[in-house]
Amino acid sequence: MQVWREALGRGVSAQWGRVGRLRRALVVLAAAACTAAALLYWRQQLDQRDHRPLHSLYSSSVEPQWSWICHNDRCERYLASETATLQSLPTCNMLCASTQLWPQPTGPVSLATAAVPVRADRFSLHVTATPSRDVSHALTEAFSLMQADMRTLERSAGGDVRRADIEPPRDVLVRVAVNGSGDVRMRLDTDESYKINLRPTGNSLTVDITAHSFCGARHGFETLSQLVWLDPYAGSLLILEAATVVDAPRFSFRGLLLDTARNFFPVGEILRTIDAMAACKLNTFHWHVSDSQSFPLRLNSAPQLAQHGAYGPGAVYTPDDVRGIVHHARLRGIRVLIEVDAPAHVGRAWSWGPTAGLGHLAHCVEAEPWSAYCGEPPCGQLNPRNPHVYTLLERVYAEIIELTGVDDLFHLGGDEVSERCWSQHFNDTDPMELWFEFTQRAMHALERANGGRAPELTLLWSSRLTRSPYLERLDSKKFGIQVWGSSRWPESRAVLDAGFRSVLSHVDAWYLDCGFGSWRDSSDGHCGPYRSWQQVYEHRPWTEEVPAVLPEQQAWRVEGGAACQWTEQLGPGGLDARVWPRAAALAERLWADRGEGAAADVYVRLDSQRQRLLARGVRAAPLWPRWCSHNPLACL
């Protein structure tokens, strides 16, 4: 028995030895499998991080790979392991040679080259002077919006990458004085100038913003926000320790047109567009709300227009929607200019006249072949001889003025009338005379809608009506012209030579829908190549030589300009990348109008501005490959 037990023990020991070796082999295999899985996961995370927003690249426990050092007014990239200084690209850009402000200020600027940490909740507001309670309330709301943008930056930091040497955040007291207009609205005569003085006071910072209007002070908030940035390596906000900025715009009208008739855009996309406009100090949202394709604006004064003209119940802007958009824009220093185009560019929205006992409100609605009656389908234009048309227009105009609060500026539309259409229905009168007559009667309807007085400036699109001999018959004291034709067309220049106040939207520079081919099988009439941001930026038509004319007309009366985003080939989801950052290039051209073109400094600053837009939720298109951002000036 003892021998058997010893033999059995030796057998068991041998068996357990084999089991132990097997177990060790399994452990080794399991470890190898885990290592391989970890490597695959790590590589997948690297791939995913390549497609994450730039500010999120450092939101993990992975040590930073790069450091940027300012050499010869340029941020140069180094491996973090090869330099004793660990500095992020945003911080290097802010502290190196460029101002990083967009649009570039027009007055003196002095910026410190040192930064201190701050937090959004450590900013406080003190209004030291205000001309009205409305201005005071608007300043408080606009300040809260600036703080909200800072909180968004803070939330994007995430992660646990922190510099050990970061100081405690400073308190920032923002003191604002508005000495001027008590009206919070953007007006034609609004003084948008402002001054900023940022300085350290003990262990805190004090910012003094002075302006002559709420809109000017709001621009001051915008510039102040651009002196604050997220340092992804520190995981906190930084602000320049000191700064002075004196600033005012070159042009008073700085606009962006959005067409919501060809394709409908949800209210959220409009609000985000206005946010981006405010970040670039544009001041006019030109809302081309209706056209022959649809009439999505539901008006209490004429509900039939949307009932017969909207694409459907989900593609309608209600009066409350408009009020919300107007309020959103006003707090950002932006007016909402709603255009209901007439007498052409109308469609089924105006087809209900006969059933309502009003006769034909429009002719040639969806006439075929469309190419004989209009530039794109469907066709249609108002009946200039039906008095009910002008009664309806008066009601529409009055409600638009009430909804927007804009009564010093109005847009009547007024382009691309088909002479053939009116000739078929009124063969006793020259169609051009009918067009001139319609414009005069529409203007009278606008005056009645506006309390018996004409707006200070009423805009018309450039057209055959703004050529000789009809141009000379228009009252230049009432009408201004939005010039959409090519800057090289003689008729575009004729408007300026005639002394009309003008808003420039030249198709060869500032039409953002160009360059995507024709959507019409039977036509190649769509505008030509894509307008790059450089082309937008470098367009300065007002620098051309002004001809010798009468003494009182020796200067062209250019109020400013607007980029136009027509939407035949654009829908929800694609708006941001189509418009931005090209509209930002227009914004600096109209604000600062710097003499040089797209110099190296412009590329770097616009790239930084794009990052600000991304941080605010605007999906702006990239200027170039990210490598060019990581290596400033290397791609020029």
Read off the pLDDT of residues 548-558 as tens digits, 9 standing for 90 and up. 554 454 579 99
pLDDT of residue 552: 52
Q: Considering only CA atoms, give the Rg of the chain.
A: 31
Contact 236, 90 (CB under 8 A): no
* DSSP conformation class of 542: G
Once rounded to an integer, what is the mean pLDDT over residues 562-589? 98
* Torsions phi, psi for 55 (to 5 deg): -70, -15
- Using the predicted structure, report yes or no on whether residue 48 has a pLDDT greater than 60: no
CA–chain centroid gap for 49, Å, is 27
d(CA 350, CA 407): 25
223-232, 273-282, 490-499: the lowest-pLDDT one: 490-499
Structure tokens at 315: 């593609």
3-state secondary structure of 508: helix
- Using the predicted structure, report yes or no on whether residue 59 has a pLDDT greater than 80: no
Beta bridge partners of 104: none
Length of the chain: 636
Torsion of CA 114, 116, 121, 123, to 10 degrees: -50
Contact 223, 196 (CB under 8 A): yes
Query: Which one has a higher pLDDT value, 158 or 462?
Result: 462
Beta bridge partners of 208: 175, 197
The H or E element that residue 70 is part of is strand 66-71
354-368, 389-403, 523-537, 600-614: the lowest-pLDDT one: 523-537
Q: Tell me whether the omega of the peptide bond preceding residue 632 falls within 30 degrees of 0, making it cis.
A: no
d(CA 504, CA 542): 9
d(CA 296, CA 349): 9
- What's the whole-number average pLDDT of the chain? 89
d(CA 211, CA 180): 8
Nearest alpha-carbon partner for 483 in 467, 501, 504 = 504
Beta bridge partners of 297: 317
3-state secondary structure of 397: helix
Contact 244, 108 (CB under 8 A): yes
Structure tokens at 632: 């400033």
pLDDT of residue 518: 81
Q: Please name the residues in contact with 2: beta carbons below 8 A apart, sequence gap of 6 or more.
A: none
The tally of CA atoms less than 13 A away on the side-chain side of residue 270 is 27
3-state secondary structure of 305: helix
Q: Classify residue 48 by burial, with Cβ atoms within 10 Å: 0-12, 13-18, 19+.
A: exposed
pLDDT of residue 596: 73
Alpha helices in 470-563 (DSSP H): 490-497, 507-510, 533-538
* Torsions phi, psi for 252 (to 5 deg): -85, -20
pLDDT of residue 3: 32
pLDDT of residue 67: 97
d(CA 202, CA 436): 67
pLDDT of residue 547: 55
d(CA 216, CA 249): 10
Once rounded to an integer, what is the mean pLDDT over residues 439-452? 98
pLDDT of residue 555: 74
pLDDT of residue 337: 99
- The domains of the chain, with CATH numbers, are 65-97+604-636 (no CATH), 101-247 (3.30.379.10), 253-455+498-598 (3.20.20.80)
- Using the predicted structure, report yes or no on whether residue 160 has a pLDDT greater than 60: no
**Helix, strand, coil share (%) of the chain residues, nearest 5:** 40, 20, 40
pLDDT of residue 39: 38
pLDDT of residue 158: 65
- Using the predicted structure, report yes or no on whether residue 24 has a pLDDT greater than 90: no
Where residue 95 falls among pLDDT bands split at 50, 70, 90? Answer: very high
Once rounded to an integer, what is the mean pLDDT over residues 603-608? 96
Contact 235, 159 (CB under 8 A): yes
Instruction: Render 317-357 in DSSP notation, one character per residue.
Output: B-HHHHHHHHHHHHTTT-EEEEEE-BSBS--GGGTTTGGGT
Active site residues: 291, 345, 416
Residue 301 CB neighbour total at 10 angstroms: 16
Q: Is the dihedral of CA 329, 591, 454, 470 positive or negative?
A: negative
How does pLDDT run across 267-297, given as a tens digit for each residue? 999 999 999 999 999 999 999 999 999 999 9
- Using the predicted structure, report yes or no on whether residue 299 has a pLDDT greater than 90: yes
Nearest alpha-carbon partner for 112 in 195, 222, 200, 209 = 200
Structure tokens at 10: 């030796």
What percent of the chain is modeled with pLDDT above 70? 86
- Using the predicted structure, report yes or no on whether residue 574 has a pLDDT greater than 70: yes
Once rounded to an integer, what is the mean pLDDT over residues 596-623? 94
Per the listing, tokens 């948008």 go with 192
Query: Which one has a higher pLDDT value, 475 or 3?
Result: 475
Contact 378, 394 (CB under 8 A): no
d(CA 283, CA 334): 4
- Using the predicted structure, report yes or no on whether residue 545 has a pLDDT greater than 70: no
- Using the predicted structure, report yes or no on whether residue 595 has a pLDDT greater than 90: no
Q: Is the dihedral of CA 492, 496, 500, 501 positive or negative?
A: positive
- Using the predicted structure, report yes or no on whether residue 62 has a pLDDT greater than 90: no
Nearest alpha-carbon partner for 622 in 607, 602, 605, 603 = 607
406-420, 487-501, 585-599, range with greatest mean pLDDT:
406-420
Alpha helices in 227-368 (DSSP H): 267-279, 304-309, 319-330
